[in-house]
Structure formats: C-alpha cells, structure tokens
Amino acid sequence: MLSLARVSLLRNARMVPLRAVQMRPVAMRKSFHNSSIVLQKKNEKSETSKSILDDDMLARAGVEVEGNEAGSKGKEEFSEEADKSGEQEESGSDKGLGKKKRSRQSSTDKKRERYANWFYIASLLGLAGGAMSMARDWEDDESEELRKEIPNGYTPSLMYRRLKKRWESIFSFFQEPPFPDLLPPPPPPPYQRPLTLVLSLEDLLVHSEWSQQTGWRTAKRPGVDYFLGYLSQYYEIVLFSSNYMMYSEKIAEKLDPIHAFITYNLFKEHCLYKDGIHIKDLSKLNRDLGKVIIIDTDENSFKLQPENAVFLEPWDGKADDRLLRLIPFLEYLATQQVADVRPILKSYPDNKTIPEAFEKRVQLLKEKFERDEKAKNENNWVLRLSGAGLTGMKPKFPLDLIREEGEKNYVRFMKLVEEEKEKIKLQQQALGQQTFTLKDYVEGNIPTPEEQMKLQMEKQQEIEAQFEQQKRAKAQQQVN
C-alpha cells in the first residue's frame, strides 16, 4: 500500500510541473505582445509630439527637409500629378512610376518665388514704359540728325521709327568722338594759318619696336624737326595719333616740348569707331574741309575723306627722305592761297606718289619759265639798245623765291624758339627754388594770391634781365 501511495504522489508531483511548463510560453507570449503594443503606442506619441525645430527654421538654416508620408497635414504638403503625355513607363508591376512627386517648398522658397514674379512684372512694365518714352514726339533740345526725315505723330510706323532712331543713338554715343567739335574755333585772321595739316604719329613721324633685350624703343624719323618747324609757319599742325593717349602723349611731348610747332594733339579716343575700325573724321575738327590736309600711313584712317588725304608708306625705322620730299608740295599749297585743296589733290591720280608727280610738274614749269624769260629778253629791243641787257642775270623761278623766303623765316623762328627754351629753363630753376614748408602752412606764412602774382611778376622781370645779360655775353663772345 505504501508503495502504491508513494507512486501516486510522485505521479501527481510530476504532473504539476509539466502543466506549469506547458502554460509558461503562452503567458510569455501574451506579456511580450502587451509590451510591444505599449512600446508602439509610446513611439507613436513621441513621433506625434511637436519638435522645437520646425520646418521653417530648418529651411532658413539651409537644411533641406523631406516630408514624412504620415506627417501632419498643416506642416507637410504632398501632391501627385499625372503624367501629361499619358504614356506609362514599362517598368513591370510598379503602377506609381508614371507619376512624379512634386518637391516640397518652404515658406522662404514661396517668398522668393513671389518676389521674383513681382520683379519680372516690374521689369516688363519698365521696358514697356521705356519703349513708350523712346517713341514719343521729338523734343526741341534733340539734335537735327535724329529728327531728320522722321516727323512727329503717334501712328505705329512713326512711333517705331522714332524708337529705332533713339535706340541706335544710344550705341552711337560710344562710337562717336567725345565732342562734336574736337578743336576750338580758329583764331582771327591776323593770327590764323591758311591751312590745317593733320599728321599721324605712328610710323609717320616715329617708329616703335620691341625686343626682348631692350624692350620698347621709339625712333624719330630723320628730318622731323625741320619738317615740323618749317611747315609750322604755313600750317596749323594737328597731331592725330592712331594710339591711345596714355601711350602717345609722352612721345608727342618729346617732339615738341614747348608746343611751338604742333598746335593741337588728338588721339585714338577722338576717332570715330565704325565697321570695326577707328576713323579720323575730319568733319569733327571744326575746320573748313576745303582747307584741311591729312597725311597718314593707314588708308582706313581717312576712309571718310579720301579727297583730303596724302598717303605715305609706313616708315620701318630706316633712314629716308620721304617725309622731306613732301615739303615743296605742301609749301606750294599754302602759299598759293587756294580756296579748296581737294581739287588740287584730286588732280593727282595716285595720292601715294604725289611728291614724285609734283617734282615733275615743277620741272616742266621751270623749263617753260626759263624759255619764256629768254624769249622775253630777246624780244626786248629797248633794253638791248640802252645797253642794259640782262646778260649774266637770270630771273629766279617764283617757287625758288618762296623757298628762300621760307628758309629765312624758318631761321628767325628757330632762333626765337631757342630763346624761349632758355627762358623756360630759367623759369623752372627759379620756381624750383621757391617752396613752402609745412611750418609755413601751419603758421599762415603763405602769401595771398595777389602777393603770389606780384612775386611771379618780379621773378619774370628778373629772368628777363638775366636772359638779356646771357644774350649779350654770348654776342660778345662771338664778336671776340
């Protein structure tokens, strides 16, 4: 009996743990499921909680924020638009590939887009207003060239023509010379030269070369000083450089430091820019074109007035007399008191060979003059009877007389130029000695403008007296 009872108790004791073991996984599953539900709810609550950094602040900071599919409706905007073409991409089972998702915009992007739209609208309105203003009737202060052949009126064709003319004038402002008249009015007749001579600088009077050893070097053409000095008594000489002022001004100052020969200097800035080239427009010189001659080495420079031009081949830096051979022809034009030089220049078929052609004409005229004088002497029987024949006396050719007189004037003029240079040198030395220190400015020891003018007059008188003494001393040395 004991053994049976013991066996039953042992069987019951074993069965209890087995049931407990069988029931434990079910309870664990339930507890795990409940805990996962609780965690999911906590995550949902944390996701729906409001963050301190909203999308606006992130967008202002430059952070690109991408929306959540399950986000808030007030903060995130999503839209889907169908493909306009209606064609579906053959991508298999994916049905959403035919649609595109629009990129999300922040409030800052919306403001920028709104401002850009306003800017475009304002620009269009401004362009329209500018076009209407440029198509208005002509005003009294506008130039005659603009108003030429286009009357006032508000028909579409007239408005379009005025708009086009004013629009073209805006660009012509940068192509035209800076001033309508490049030179001031000519002086009154007693001081006015009969003709105006326009000379190029580059490859006519000077030649510049560059080498790796020496850099830029500029050579002066042989006879330039004589050419300018001799013709300055007949012509108003205008130096019209083909280069910019910053490069050519110093060279021009070297040619004529005291401005005794060259009256005015013009540069590339004063040219007319047309068809991609710079043209020296003689009509802008404020001079009568019938009394203007231009000598240049570039045919494009006198493209607008070829009838006023004398062409010379560009000088290559080697010694020649091509420039000096032009003096007789230019002297002839200035001394004959011609009203218009253009017909005379036109009488030469080639403006490149004018010096040679003029020499031939002068030789023919000289031979004819000598024959006429010889025949006149032979037919003058009164002189032969009186014994006052002209044997041994040859009359001089008129152009030779003009040349002799011109040489005398040139010698006298150059003497005055040298004296003026000496005076300028003495003035520079005297003015260099007169300086004021900072102490004089602080203490108020600077003379008034009237006193400065008086001091300058006294200095000028001292310089004149000093120069006269030097002049007398040089003359005395020459006599001794």
Q: What are the tens digits of pLDDT across the range 209-250? A: 988 888 888 999 999 999 999 999 999 999 999 999 999 999
Residue 11 has pLDDT above 90, yes or no: no
Residues 294 and 219 placed together within one structural domain of the fold: yes
User: 24-28, 44-48, 174-178, 459-463: lowest mean pLDDT where?
Assistant: 24-28
Is pTM beyond 0.75? Reply is no
In-domain check, residue 51: no
**Do residues 101 and 118 make contact, with C-beta atoms less than 8 angstroms apart?**
no
| Residue 217 one-letter amino acid | R
Residues 216 and 297 placed together within one structural domain of the fold: yes
Residues 6+ apart with CB under 8 A from 328: 355, 358, 359, 362, 399, 403
Residues 222 and 314 placed together within one structural domain of the fold: yes
Q: What share of the chain in percent tops pLDDT 90? A: 39
3-state secondary structure 25-88: HHHHHHHHHHHHHHHHHHHHHHHHCCCCCCHHHHHHCCCCCCCCCCCCCCCCCCCEECCCCCCC
Residue 454 — very low, low, confident or very high, per pLDDT cuts 50/70/90? confident
In terms of pLDDT, which residue wins out, 38 or 213? 213
Residue 323 has pLDDT above 90, yes or no: yes
Residue 374 — very low, low, confident or very high, per pLDDT cuts 50/70/90? confident
pLDDT at 81 (0 to 100): 44
Residues 343 and 226 placed together within one structural domain of the fold: yes
In-domain check, residue 133: yes
Residue 61 — very low, low, confident or very high, per pLDDT cuts 50/70/90? low
Residues 231 and 320 placed together within one structural domain of the fold: yes
Q: Which of 118, 148, 175 is the last residue of a domain?
A: 175
Residues 300 and 198 placed together within one structural domain of the fold: yes
Calpha distance 447→453 (Å, rounded): 10
Calpha distance 249→256 (Å, rounded): 11
In-domain check, residue 81: no
Which residues partner with 23 through β-bridges? Answer: none
Residue 85 — very low, low, confident or very high, per pLDDT cuts 50/70/90? very low
In-domain check, residue 65: no
Residue 59 has pLDDT above 90, yes or no: no
Q: Which of 143, 175, 207 is the last residue of a domain?
A: 175
- Total number of domains constituting the chain: 3
pLDDT at 91 (0 to 100): 47
Compute the C-alpha angle 284/288/289, nearest 5°: 75
pLDDT at 380 (0 to 100): 66
In-domain check, residue 63: no
Residues 200 and 145 placed together within one structural domain of the fold: no
Residues 152 and 239 placed together within one structural domain of the fold: no
pLDDT at 474 (0 to 100): 76
Residues 287 and 343 placed together within one structural domain of the fold: yes
**Do residues 227 and 220 make contact, with C-beta atoms less than 8 angstroms apart?**
no
Residue 78 has pLDDT above 60, yes or no: no
| Residue 114 one-letter amino acid | R
pLDDT at 464 (0 to 100): 77
Residue 93 has pLDDT above 50, yes or no: no
Calpha distance 251→34 (Å, rounded): 102
Q: Give the CATH number of the domain where residue 260 resides.
A: 3.40.50.1000
Residues 224 and 332 placed together within one structural domain of the fold: yes
Residues 196 and 288 placed together within one structural domain of the fold: yes
Across the range 261-269, mean pLDDT stands at: 94
Q: Which residues of 375-387 are buried (b: 16+ CB within 10 A; e: fewer)?
A: eebeeeeeeeeee
User: How would you class 5 by CB atoms within 10 Å of its CB: exposed for 0-12, middle for 13-18, buried for 19 or more?
Assistant: exposed
What kind and span of H or E run contains 80?
Answer: strand 80-81
User: What is the extent of the structural domain holding 169?
Assistant: 109-175
Residues 205 and 344 placed together within one structural domain of the fold: yes
In-domain check, residue 209: yes
Beta strands in 226-333 (DSSP E): 235-240, 262-266, 272-274, 277-279, 292-296, 309-311
In terms of pLDDT, which residue wins out, 81 or 342? 342
pLDDT at 390 (0 to 100): 47
What own/partner pairs with CB < 8 Å and gap ≥ 24 does 66-75 have? 66/104, 67/104
In-domain check, residue 169: yes
Calpha distance 278→269 (Å, rounded): 9
Tokens, residue 278: 């710079």
In-domain check, residue 322: yes
Tokens, residue 85: 């073409």
Residue 149 has pLDDT above 90, yes or no: no
Across the range 113-121, mean pLDDT stands at: 93
Residue 39 — very low, low, confident or very high, per pLDDT cuts 50/70/90? low
Q: What 3-state DSSP class applies to 447?
A: coil
Which residues partner with 100 through β-bridges? Answer: 81
For 462-478, the pLDDT digits (tens) are: 777 877 777 777 777 77
pLDDT at 226 (0 to 100): 96
Calpha distance 392→150 (Å, rounded): 74
